[in-house]
Chains A and B, each alone.
Chain A
Amino acid sequence: MNDPSPIDPRVGSPPLLDVSNLVKRFQVKTPQGPGELLAVNRVSFEIYPGEAIGLVGESGCGKSTLVRLLTRTLSITEGQIRFGGTNLSEVAPAQMPKHPLRAKLQMVFQDAQDSLNPRVTAFDAIAEPLRLLGSDSRESVIRSQVEEIATLTGLPLELLQRFPHQLSGGQKARVGIARAAVLRPLLLVLDEPTAALDVSVQVVILQLLSELQRSLGMSLLFVSHDLNVVRLLCDRILVMYLGRIVERGNATDVFTNPRHPYTRALIASIPSTGHDASQYLLPGEAQSPIQMIRNPTAERCGLYGRCPRAELICAKQAPPLLPVPNSEGHHVACHFADSFQNF
C-alpha cells in the first residue's frame, strides 16, 4: 500500500519479532462458577525489519492484551515471543523495565492526554526513557537527543518546556511519539494513536509515523479498530476476532478482497466506501471470551452465532488459518472462505 519499505520482508532477512502460538488466559469468577477468559488464543505472526503491520479488530477482541504480552507487561500463559533473536517469553514482566531489549521495543499509547504526566514538561517526558535506558546519562547529551527527536517529530523546540495542558491534541500526540522514538527502537507498537484525534490532525500524525518509519528504519505494529486508517500506513494487516487471528495478508489483498466474513463486515462498515453495510453486517454482539470450565466452547469458530453461514462444522471446530490459493501470503481462518468471494 505504501511505497516499499526499506527492507523487503521477502528478501529473506530473519523476522524482527516472531510470535508463535501465544496464549493468554485469565482466571475469572462468574455467577455460574469458575471460568477462564481466553484473551489471546494461539496467535502466531512475525514482523520483519522496517515493516509496518496493522492489527485490527473490535474492542474486546484481545488487541490490547496481545500488545501487553509483546511489551511484556503481562505474563504469558503459553507460547513464545522472539525479538531480535532473544526469547522474550523467558523475561519476567518485573525484569522487563530494565532489560536491554526494552529500549528497542517501544510503545505509543492510545490517549496522549491520559498517558502524559500532567506535572511533567514535554522535555522531561521525552527525556525520561533516555535517563532510564539510555547509554549516556550526561545532561548535555540527553538535551541534544531530545531536541533531535523533537525536530524529527515536528515539535517546535520552544514547546518543550510546556506542560501537557499547554499543548494541543496533535502536539501531545507528537510528544507521545517522540518519547517512544527517542531511544531509536527497532519496533514501535502503537495502540490506537489517532483514535482521539480530529481527521485533520490524524493525517499529520499518520504521515509523521510513515516518515519516521522510513528515516529511522523502524518496524511498526499499528493497533486500531479502523481498517481504513491502518491500510494507509501498513504493508500487511492482521485481523483479530475473539482472541484469534482470523485473516492476514498484504493490505491491498485484505482491503479489496477480504475472505473472512468478519473482515468483510469491518470493511463494509466504513462509511462512504460504496459498500452496502447492511449486506455484510453481522447481527448481535461478539460471544463472551469467558470459557466455562464445565462447558468449554473454545473449539468452535469465534464468529459462530453471528455468521451468515454458521454450519455444523463451525460449531464443532475452530477453522485453522490457511493460505488463500494463488495469493501472496494471504491467510484466512474460515471453513467456507471459498464462498466469501466477490466482495
Chain B
Amino acid sequence: MALLEIRNLSLEFQTRGGILHALENVSFEVQRGETIGLVGESGSGKSVLSYAILGLSDGAARITQGSARFDGVDLLGAPERHLADLRGREASMIFQNPRAALNPIRKIGQQLEDVLERHTTTLRAKRKEKAIACLAEMKIPDPERRYHAYPFELSGGLCQRVMIALALACSPKLLIADEPTTGLDVTTQAAIMALIAEKARSTRMSTLLITHDLALARAYCDRIAVMHAGQIVEIAPTEKLFTQASHPYTEQLIGATPVGRARLSELIAVPGSLPDLRRSDLPSCRFSERCNRRRAVCKMALPSGADGAHEVRCHNPLRPESAALDALAARST
C-alpha cells in the first residue's frame, strides 16, 4: 500500500475576484522510501497541494472533491487534533524560506526542543543532547555553540539545515520539501540535497520534492509529476520522463532547462502563460490554450491515459516515433 494516496483532489479558493480553481482532479501516490518530484511553473499549484495534504490550507480554501490517505489515515476527514499530532512526527515539511519559517526570537536549540517536547517522549534532561545530535546529523559545524544561536546569526544555508533538522527530528515517514534550496547557492544546494537524500535512504523516508528546477528533480527523484495550472499532466519514472516525455508541456519544460545545453539558442522558451484560474470558462485541459498540438477533441474531459507507471493526461500526446521526441532523446544522452 502506498504511504500517501491522493485521489481526484480538487480545491478552490474563495477570492474577491471570484472562485479560483487551484487544484483540479489531482491524483498521485507516494510509495514508501520513494522520492517523487512535483515540478511546474510558479502558480501551478505545487505548494497549495502540499499544504492541502498536511491540512494547512488557507481559510479561504475549500476542498470540493477527492480524498487523501496517509498511512491508512483519511487526512481530509481527520480532526485537527489528530492532524496536529501527525504533522512534524509522521509527515513534516521544509518550507521555502528558512529565515521566515524559523522563529526569529527563539534560539534554534530551543526550537528543536519544542519539537521533541511536542512529539516525542524524550525526557527533558535528554532533550538538549538530542537537539545537538539533530544539528550534528545535519553536518552543522560546532553544534554545541550553534544550539545557542538565533536564526539571524546563521547564514541562509545554515538556517536551511536547521529547518531540515527540525523537520527530520522525529524521523518522519514523509518529508515534503517545498523548494528547499531556492535562494541558496548551488554548492549549498548540493550539500542540502545530499543530506535529505541520505536521510531518505537510511530511514526509508518518502520525499515529495517540490521544485521548478527540472534538473534538480532529475538528479534526486525516482519519479516526477509535472503540474500545470492545478492539473497533474504527466507522471513518469525520472529517466522515462526525460527520454519519452509525452505531454507537450513536459517537453517544453525540458526544452527550457539549461543543463546540458552548450548554447543559449538551444533553449526554447515555453510560450504563453498560465491561464487565470478564476475564469469560469477554464478549458478542461488547462494547457490547451498554450498548446501547439491542440485539436477539437481537447475540449472534451481530460483522459487519464496510463501506460504502466507512465501516466499522461493529454488527448494528443507526443509519441516516441515523433521527430521532436527523438531529438529530445538524442540530446539527453
Contacts and interface: CB of A to CB of B under 8 A. Distances in A.
Contacts of A2: 263-264
A328 interface: no
B314 interface: no
A269 B187 contact: yes
Interface string A52-66: 000000111000000
A59 B185 contact: yes
Q: How large is the interface on A (under 10, 10 to 19, 20 to 34, 35 or more residues)?
A: 35 or more
B260 interface: yes
A202 B156 CA distance: 23
B259 A206 contact: no
A271 B242 CA distance: 14
Given A198-B212, A203-B267, A203-B269, A232 B190 contact: no
A227 B157 CA distance: 18
B41 A198 contact: yes
B261 interface: yes
A268 B190 contact: yes
Nearest to B158: A285
A203 B262 CA distance: 14
B270 A200 contact: yes
Contacts of A204: 269
A272 B331 CA distance: 13
A228 interface: yes
Contacts, number: 105
B256 A272 contact: no
Given A270-B215, A271-B219, A168 B186 contact: no
Interface in B245-290: 252-253, 256-265, 267-270, 273
Contacts of A1: 262-263
Interface size classification for chain B? 35 or more
B264 A206 contact: yes
A199 interface: yes
B190 A169 contact: no
A298 interface: no
A277 B139 CA distance: 16
A199 B212 contact: yes
A226 B186 contact: yes
A269 B191 CA distance: 8
Interface in B37-92: 41-42
A239 B66 CA distance: 51
B259 A228 contact: yes
Nearest to A197: B42
B141 A229 contact: no
A229 B258 CA distance: 7
Contact of A227 (B183, B186, B214): B186
A180 interface: no
Interface in A232-286: 232-233, 265-266, 268-273, 277-278, 281-285
A272 to B, nearest CB: 4
B194 to A, nearest CB: 6
B259 A225 contact: no
A201 B40 CA distance: 12
Contacts of B188: 58
B270 A271 contact: no
A210 interface: yes
A201 B274 CA distance: 12
A337 B139 CA distance: 28
Given A203-B256, A285-B157, A271 B264 contact: no
A151 to B, nearest CB: 18
A207 interface: yes
A101 B3 CA distance: 63
Contacts of B158: 285
A201 to B, nearest CB: 8
Interface of B: 41-42, 139, 141, 155-158, 183, 185-191, 193-194, 212-216, 218-220, 252-253, 256-265, 267-270, 273
21 contacts: A1-B262, A58-B187, A60-B155, A198-B41, A199-B213, A200-B41, A202-B258, A203-B258, A204-B269, A227-B186, A232-B261, A233-B264, A266-B186, A269-B187, A269-B189, A270-B186, A270-B215, A271-B213, A271-B259, A272-B216, A282-B187
Given A168-B273, A203-B258, A207-B264, 18 more contacts: A58-B185, A58-B188, A195-B183, A198-B41, A200-B252, A200-B256, A203-B268, A203-B270, A206-B264, A207-B267, A268-B190, A269-B189, A270-B186, A271-B190, A271-B218, A271-B259, A272-B216, A282-B187
